[in-house]
Amino acid sequence: MKRIAIDMDDVLADAEGRFFELAKLRYGLDINPIDLHDKTWAQAANVPHEEIWAWLFEEDFFRKMKVKPHSQEVVKKLSNKYEIFIVSAAVEFPQSMKEKLDWLHEFFPFIDWKYVVFCGHKYMIKADYLIDDHQKNLATFTGKPILYSAYHNKNVKGYTRVEDWKEVEKLLL
Amino acid sequence: MKRIAIDMDDVLADAEGRFFELAKLRYGLDINPIDLHDKTWAQAANVPHEEIWAWLFEEDFFRKMKVKPHSQEVVKKLSNKYEIFIVSAAVEFPQSMKEKLDWLHEFFPFIDWKYVVFCGHKYMIKADYLIDDHQKNLATFTGKPILYSAYHNKNVKGYTRVEDWKEVEKLLL
């Protein structure tokens, strides 16, 4: 059975949507998605980096992300044919890990805790596929990398790109 | 550079020592280490499994473990020759992960968060060596497994066994 490693933020969970929501709530900004192309959230909102960075350590920042459309049904289908591991670089945000487990338990209750990995680097994960939105993770991965589209990676070239979970389904099922 | 994956509980951190300490404090028991051979903590203390299991979800259970003798100096030396990843099956105990990071920060401050992995299964970790006290992790590991002696694994056969960190040093340096 082939193994797929799946990232969380901006792949299963709508991290950019959470940013748009808080940028509106806190700064009254309607961020244009194009402003995230090759930019950090702080650059897009035109506020100091430290200010946005602090969000990532706030209670419920990760817990309240919305689930990406069709991710639940497609991951469920994939799990019949592949071994699924959720691999999130969450160790940087210690308080996020329990929230991420609670979030997975709510939206992906069929994924057992033994198949959840919180890490920093991902290059030591042995899998056939990695679905991730960050080039740094895909570039060093030893299996087949799949770039999950996000506004921030629109200009990244050289990877198999999927726009949404329906495209993942077509690609892998 | 070869890569070593190192477990935490009963390898870097004295988990059995924490059990002895709490068995004394809570039940007045002086556990004989031999009583842990092939037994669970609950069996060794002769109390219901659920009672000891609940300890693992208590605040500070993991944070207050002592560091294993010579582990700090030997891991530091190893880190000059090998790439070191800390790989702990901590996802089962969601509250433990922050404590384990704080513990690592105190005792192994030279290990960057990017090299810490919290997981369930370990067989998808790609490394040249795994130092672990549990046969279930070693048996499925694709590199060279090294059994770190603990009272609970005294009867496990078929692995390169190290009794302490000085023996790890001899073996790998």
Tell me which residues of A are annotated as active site: 7, 9
B117 touches chain A (CB under 8 A): yes
For the beta sheet containing B129-132, the strands, ordered from the edge strand earlier in sequence to the opposite edge, are A160-162, A144-148, A129-132, A3-6, A83-88, A116-118, B116-118, B83-88, B3-6, B129-132, B144-148, B160-162
Query: Which band of pLDDT confidence, cut at 50, 70 and 90, is reported for residue A86?
Result: very high
Are B117 and A117 in contact by the 8 Å Cβ rule? The answer is yes
Whose tokens are 């056939």? That residue is: A128
Q: How far apart are CA A105 and CA A99, in angstroms?
A: 10
Give the ipTM of the model, two decimals please.
0.96
Helix or strand or coil: residue A101? helix
> A124, B126: Cβ pair inside 8 Å?
yes
**Is the per-residue pLDDT at A38 higher than 90?**
no
Whose tokens are 């048996």? That residue is: B139
The per-residue DSSP string of B42-76 comes to HHHHTS-HHHHHHHTTSTTTTTTPPBPTTHHHHHH
Q: Nearest chain A Cα to B117, which residue?
A: A119
**Is the per-residue pLDDT at B22 higher than 90?**
yes
Mean pLDDT of B58-70: 98
B98 touches chain A (CB under 8 A): yes
Which residues numbered 120-149 in B keep a CB inside 8 Å of some CB on A?
A: 120-121, 124-127, 142
The pTM assigned to this predicted structure is 0.97
**Is the per-residue pLDDT at B38 higher than 90?**
no
| pLDDT tens, position by position, B72-118 | 999 999 999 999 999 999 999 999 999 999 999 999 999 999 999 99
Q: How far apart are CA A128 and CA A53, in angstroms?
A: 33
Q: With contacts defined as CB-CB under 8 Å, which chain B residues touch A102? A: 94
Q: Which two tokens stand for residue A171?
A: 């690609």
Q: How far apart are CA A9 and CA B7, in angstroms?
A: 27
B24 touches chain A (CB under 8 A): no
Mean pLDDT of A137-141: 98
Q: Nearest chain B Cα to A122, which residue?
A: B114
